[in-house]
């Protein structure tokens, strides 16, 4: 398949590009079918043979995303711009760093929601020492049974179980 692409020419720190048409798999710096124009990225100067570009596009050749965006910007063709970069695997360190940051933010949000400065009695900075006045447990009175009654109740059910087994 034929593709319109950029071929780098020029000096080391002063790049210029040729716009060429060649096979898609072929090296863009090697032999090309036709030179269609040139592009200077510093001055944004684009010199191109529009009739030859339209001819090759009509024959079914493709374009790289950067050429597509250049031609759309200069209104040589119409369409949507494409994203130049390929989606790759994200950096593991960045992922870990972002996860730690999210966890830290969530903890801070929970602390802010749970503890308001007017409700804190003893705030020394640690989670263990933060006590809210609203969350104190209420103690309910428990009726205590005298020790003598506990012994008789515990002793009586055991013989009944033994008699049931005997029958």
3-state class (DSSP) for residue 150: helix
pLDDT tens digits, 64-82:
999 999 999 988 888 888 8
Q: How far apart are CA 142 and CA 152, in angstroms?
A: 20
pLDDT tens digits, 96-108:
899 999 999 988 8
Instruction: Return mean pLDDT, the chain.
Output: 77
Q: How far apart are CA 40 and CA 18, in angstroms?
A: 9
Contacts of 115 (CB under 8 A, 6+ apart): 123, 130, 132
Tell me how far apart the terminal alpha carbons of the chain are, to the nearest angstrom.
97
């Amino acid at each position: 398949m034929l593709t319109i692409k950029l071929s780098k020419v020029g000096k080391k720190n002063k790049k210029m590009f040729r716009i060429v048409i060649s096979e898609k798999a072929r090296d863009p710096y090697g032999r090309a079918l036709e030179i269609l124009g040139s592009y200077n990225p510093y001055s944004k100067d684009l010199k191109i043979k529009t009739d030859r570009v339209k001819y090759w596009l009509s024959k079914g050749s493709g374009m790289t995303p950067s050429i597509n965006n250049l031609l759309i910007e200069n209104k040589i063709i119409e369409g949507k711009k494409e994203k130049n970069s390929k989606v790759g695997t994200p950096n593991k360190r960045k992922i870990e760093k972002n996860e730690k940051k999210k966890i830290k933010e969530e903890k801070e949000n929970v602390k802010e929601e749970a503890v308001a400065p007017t409700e804190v009695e003893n705030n020394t900075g640690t989670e263990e020492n933060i006590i809210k006045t609203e969350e104190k447990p209420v103690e309910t009175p428990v009726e205590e049974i005298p020790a003598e009654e506990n012994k008789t109740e515990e002793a009586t059910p055991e013989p009944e179980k033994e008699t049931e087994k005997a029958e």
